């Protein structure tokens, strides 16, 4: 009977050791995997910060361009209002070419 109890205890002890070793392996894997995920998270946060900074810079540049465009549009509208006789006529080709380049130029503005 004692031999049977010793054998059973040996099996229980072996099972507990296997569970302990298995737990250690799982813990080691989880620790390694966590470190990899933390590194990926840090890289993602870095990229997000850079993307956010670029987006902010782009928004400021677009805003500046919009303001300049609005100002130029107002200037043109004011010039047209101040010169109603001229504004109803076609711009002479020589004036247009002096402002925007010749129509025969490679980068000509289409009519």
Query: Which structural domain, as residue segments, surrounds residue 58?
Result: 2-100
22 HSE (CA, 13 A, CB side): 6
Whole-model pTM: value is: 0.50
Q: How confident is the model at residue 37, as a pLDDT? A: 92
What integer pLDDT is reported at residue 40 of this predicted model? Answer: 94
In a domain, 66, yes or no: yes
SS3 content of the chain, % helix, strand, coil (to 5): 85, 0, 15
pLDDT tens profile 26-58: 888 888 889 899 999 999 999 999 999 999 999
Q: How many domains does the chain have?
A: 1
Mean pLDDT of the chain: 86
Domain contains 67: yes
Residue 91 confidence (pLDDT) above 90: no
pLDDT digits (tens, 9 = 90+) for 71-85: 999 988 888 888 888
CA dihedral sign, ordered 85, 87, 91, 97: positive
Is residue 41 a part of any domain in this protein?
A: yes
């Amino acid at each position: 009977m004692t031999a049977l109890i010793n054998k059973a205890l040996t099996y229980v002890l072996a099972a507990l050791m296997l569970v302990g070793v298995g737990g250690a392996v799982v813990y080691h894997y989880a620790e390694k995997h966590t470190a990899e995920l933390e590194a990926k998270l840090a890289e993602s946060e870095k990229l997000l910060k850079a993307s956010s900074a670029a987006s902010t810079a782009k928004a400021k540049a677009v805003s500046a361009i919009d303001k300049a465009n609005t100002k130029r549009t107002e200037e043109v509208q004011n010039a047209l209002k101040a010169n109603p006789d001229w504004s109803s006529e076609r711009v002479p080709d020589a004036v247009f070419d002096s402002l925007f380049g010749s129509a025969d130029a490679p980068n000509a503005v289409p009519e």
